[in-house]
Chain A
Amino acid sequence: MQPEKFYYDNKIVRNFGIATIVWGIIGMTVGLLVAIQLYKPGANLGNQYTTFGRIRPLHTNAVIFAFVGNAIFMGVYYSLQRLLKARMFSDVLSKIHFWGWQLIIVSAVITLPLGFTTSHEYAELEWPIDIAITLIWVVFGVNMFGTIFKRRERHLYVAIWFYIATFVTIAVLHIVNSFELPISGLKSYYLFAGVQDALVQWWYGHNAVAFFLTTPYLGMMYYFLPKMANRPVYSYKLSILHFWALIFIYIWAGPHHLLYTTLPSWAQSLGVVFSIMLIAPSWGGMINGLLTLRGAWDKVRDDVVLKFMVVGLTAYGMATFEGPMLSLKQVNAIGHFTDWIVAHVHVGALGWNGFLTFAVLYWLIPRIYKTNLYSKKMAAFHFWIGTLGILFYAIPMYWAGFTQGLMLKEFTAEGMLKYPSFLETTMRILPMHVMRSVGGGLYLVGVIVMAYNLAKTMLQGSLVSNEAAEALPLEPVYVKQNTDIWHKVIERKPIRLMVLSLLVILIGTFIELMPTMTISSNVPTIASVKPYTPLELQGRDIYIREGCVNCHSQTVRPFRSETERYGDYSKAGEFVYDHPFLWGSKRTGPDLHREGGKYGNAWHYNHLMDPRLMSPGSIMPNYDWLISQELDTTTTAAKIDAMRKLGVPYAAGYAQKANGDLDKQAQGIAENLSKDHIKVKPNKEIVAIIAYLQRLGTDIKANKTANNNQ
């Protein structure tokens, strides 16, 4: 048989590489900006479009989907072609994939600061963009499987198993977590409410980490590390074991984000135990990587690329050990909602994803440009400043997390909270926040140096757009070989591999999601809980638009330290009309689930105008635009109708009458404010959000008699 000649497409790899660098710098700069806002609220540049609640999602989306996303495609397009000995299936699809993905990112950069958000973390983009993501993801899938089908290599290498699992699982996660009912061009409500919505979101959120930040990177590690170190992969058996164990177990772990909430306890426990069982499969990847370097450690000393890989793998190992520990109830009780979690994810993001990406870029760009790296010294500088940046980021954040977590739980001998004012605990950790932003700044400087170094490298070489290669075509008749079952049955059959991965991840999905969705006893209802009034509903949408959920949780956990601080702990039945749920995942400020009635309307008005008036030293930004902006009531009818469709019991035909009720309630609040010498027209946004805040968590109190001498 004659070897066939063909060409690898390097241009698409280069394009994704440049996108990785550009979006990386943008995403991290936004990250630095939000970090600074956490001790200097004035750093929001004085306008709503660059305020924390709106651009924190921009930061997370940019680094996850733009920086890491483009890096994944760069790595996959480079390694897939070479592992299969074939050019990508279609250059047109590659181009559509590239430009489509960049357009999606641009649309995120535009819509998120404008306040178009679903509020689901890492899935904030609104429904039209969700559809675009689905389409582009399918383009990616077709291009990948097309290439697999025309391959010149019978057996699929371990990297490709990870790519396939990534493709199917992300598709399932994204689609299920995008069940939204559109109300207008850029606004929708989630199909599920309350506890159910929370479960879907964190099943998604956790597995976005698993199948977007982990499995594709493991695949890339399996290709690039042996190439970089010129060593054989340590253990094929370990690859098989940890691949299948990882994808099977990961999908179950989502509920550990919802410990001590109103999620049924059996689901919480499943989240805990599967997180613990995840340690070994996660470490399998790290061990296989680090042991691949056996006999090549002398190279690590000289080669900055390998240094990045080693630190990246170590960060992965630390994060995947810490994650399961944080899933234990006793640890979670202290760590959850604090900066500890922020430290944890950044060890993973900066160490594992960031450093692996840098290693691949430093290794791959000179190769496709047929030249050497412009400056090894600069790359070494990048490595050290990046490592220092991670330390300066993570250590203060751990410290801040422990400090605040413990302070919030401390009681005096008299049985009072030692720090009844949440703000006091916030002030204590501000120095750590300053240090964290220094760490982030150092890391960003490293990335900018890398960008310069790689740009210079590109300029001194010339891109080999189509790299010549040759390989024997696949033999048309299958020749039986003496290999084991994995080889024969699975790893040569891409479709079978895909279907099997799909089945493996669907097991956990169904067992966890289905009972909560269908069995009513999992969400006990409460008779006194009523749907929101039209004004409250509008106020809630402003709360969503401003991204309040990024700093304020709405779920009081059953701890003495929380019921003393906030009020009665949350019950599942209280959230049944919450499309979407707004429990949040971080308490930069206090929980708001029992906020209703705690303070007067005037307090809220002044506090939103300038939080420091009511809480000196507060780091919450001013929301003065809520006072000047008028509430858009043209959407009320559509919103009530949508809620009715989703099962919220508004009376038939109420949509048309809703604005009448809305005006009445707004008038009442405006009159109440005027008693405190606050002149505000009832049609301003601030009235709606005050109405919502005053309603929060009050329905359940309707049963009890007030003991106040009003």
Chain B
Amino acid sequence: MLICLVVLAVQPAFAADDSLVPNDVKNYIGYGAIMLVLLLVLLAMVVLLRAFKALTKVLMTREEYAAMEAEQKAAKVKKPKAEVINKLLSLKPLSEEKSILIEHDFDGIQELDNPTPAWFMGLFYITIVFAVAYILGYHVLGIGQLQDQEYVTEMKIAAKEKEAYLAKAANRVDESTVTVSTDPAVLASGQAVFKASCMPCHGDKGQGVVGPNLTDDYWLHGGKIADVFKTIKYGVTAKGMPTWEKQLSPKQIADVASFIKSLHGTNPPGAKEPQGDKETDDATSSAAKTAMVVSK
């Protein structure tokens, strides 16, 4: 779990820099590399251990080696540290075990009459205190927020932050201020959004699949930039066009609307037949158009 946390902390750094290699490919490489390094370290440790053992055997005479082994064994027997640990864990030394052995056995299994470890009881009591405090805090004293209040608080904070951000942000766009742009940067950004979100229904070239053709003169909900913006933003759920307000920023919606306008007249292969009303850029007010569509 620790490793994961560390890696998680690193991940945003990964995602931040933009380069030619897509992020997921980078991730693949990253995961592979980490796994490989871990395995290599493991392998290296095993090899080193073996090598050291072999080396000592080669370098020492047989007697020396035997003496060393004996020494190591002797060292293992003495464990002065154990007593401190035993005390901390409230363990009785093994030598005194006989005195606490319960006489009876079950199929040869005996039980010791050790007390429950003090730290263990401490842990148990702490969790009980926590439980009482938790219930009091949330349900009697009302210190902690329950989920519905928590939600209200979360939304309030978010709204404040959003407002503060948008007040500073220059490119605050909505359906009344949006304009067609032919800036290549805007169109490229619009195209990226189109590919990710619109393509499944409107086709890769805007030729129309489930959704209508976006390249011809015919529009179901108005072809003016403001109408296109509005249709994307609020959707037309009854006809299957989702609401994008929550998924795309105003800037993204404006970009993709401009991109769609740029598709006009491209005549892609396999274009869907016209739907809606013929409309040229200088047609009558879009509101009237929409009303006409509804009345049909």
A residues apposed to B, CB below 8 Å: 79, 82-83, 85, 153, 155, 157-158, 223, 226-227, 232-239, 241, 245, 260, 265-266, 268-270, 272-274, 276-277, 279-281, 283-284, 287, 291, 294-295, 329, 395-396, 398-399, 402-403, 406, 411-417, 420-421, 427-428, 431-432, 435, 557-560, 563-565, 569, 597-603, 606, 613-616, 676, 706-710
Contact = CB atoms under 8 A, between A and B. Distances in A.
Which of B97, B151, B166, B230 counts the most A-chain CB atoms under 10 A from its CB? B151
Interface of B: 1, 3-5, 7-8, 11, 24, 27-28, 31, 35, 91, 94, 97, 101-102, 104, 106-117, 120-121, 123-124, 127-128, 130-132, 134-135, 138-139, 146-148, 150-151, 154-155, 158-159, 161-162, 165-166, 169, 196-197, 199-201, 210, 221, 230, 234-243, 246-249, 251, 290, 294
B116 A241 contact: yes
16 contacts: A232-B101, A235-B111, A265-B146, A269-B138, A273-B131, A273-B132, A287-B120, A396-B31, A414-B162, A414-B169, A416-B248, A428-B24, A558-B150, A563-B155, A708-B237, A710-B237
Nearest to B28: A431
Given A280-B120, A411-B158, A559-B154, A260 B200 contact: no
A606 B200 CA distance: 10
B234 to A, nearest CB: 5
A295 B240 contact: no
Contacts of B196: 421
B116 A598 contact: no
Contacts of A417: 246-247
Contacts of A707: 234
Which of A279, A280, A563 counts the most B-chain CB atoms under 10 A from its CB? A280
Which of B27, B31, B240 counts the most A-chain CB atoms under 10 A from its CB? B240
Contacts of B162: 414-415
Contacts of B147: 260, 265, 268, 329, 557-558
Interface of A is mostly: helix
Nearest to A400: B4
A100 B80 CA distance: 57
B8 A402 contact: yes
B215 to A, nearest CB: 19
A287 B27 CA distance: 40
Contacts, number: 213
Nearest to A272: B134
B114 A237 contact: yes
A559 B151 contact: yes
Contact of B123 (A272, A279, A563, A565): A279
A480 B147 CA distance: 57
B112 A266 contact: no
Given A157-B109, A280-B123, A614-B201, A560 B27 contact: no
B242 A560 contact: no
B230 A709 contact: yes
A416 B240 contact: no
A603 B113 contact: no
A614 B242 CA distance: 13
A237 B120 CA distance: 12
A312 B135 CA distance: 34
B139 A710 contact: no
A239 B24 contact: no
Contacts of A266: 139
Nearest to B107: A82
Nearest to B125: A280
Contacts of A270: 135
A606 B154 CA distance: 37
A676 B239 CA distance: 10
Contacts of A226: 109-110
Contacts of A431: 24, 27-28, 31
A466 to B, nearest CB: 17
Contacts of B251: 414
A232 B242 contact: no
A557 B147 CA distance: 9
Given A265-B138, A279-B127, A614-B210, 19 more contacts: A79-B107, A85-B107, A232-B110, A237-B115, A277-B127, A277-B128, A277-B130, A279-B123, A283-B123, A287-B117, A395-B3, A406-B8, A411-B158, A413-B165, A415-B161, A564-B246, A606-B210, A707-B234, A709-B230
A710 B123 contact: no
A560 B221 CA distance: 31
Nearest to A158: B111
A412 B234 contact: no
Contacts of B138: 265, 269
A219 B286 CA distance: 76
A483 B271 CA distance: 91
A236 B102 contact: yes
Nearest to B101: A232
A399 B30 CA distance: 13
A431 B115 CA distance: 49
A695 B251 CA distance: 33
A153 B199 CA distance: 75
A233 B109 contact: yes
Contacts of A427: 24
Contact of B234 (A395, A559, A602, A708): A708
Contacts of B28: 431
A300 to B, nearest CB: 14
Nearest to B112: A232
Given A223-B109, A398-B1, A416-B248, A710 B294 contact: yes
Contacts of A709: 221, 230, 234, 236, 290
Contacts of B134: 269, 272-273, 276
Given A414-B166, A707-B234, A235 B114 contact: yes
Contacts of B239: 600, 710
Nearest to B31: A431
Contacts of B128: 277
Contacts of A283: 120, 123
Nearest to A284: B120
B106 A157 contact: yes
Contacts of B159: 415
Q: Which 5 A-B pairs have the closest CB atoms?
A: A600-B240, A415-B162, A420-B247, A273-B131, A280-B124
A232 B234 contact: no
Contacts of A155: 104, 106
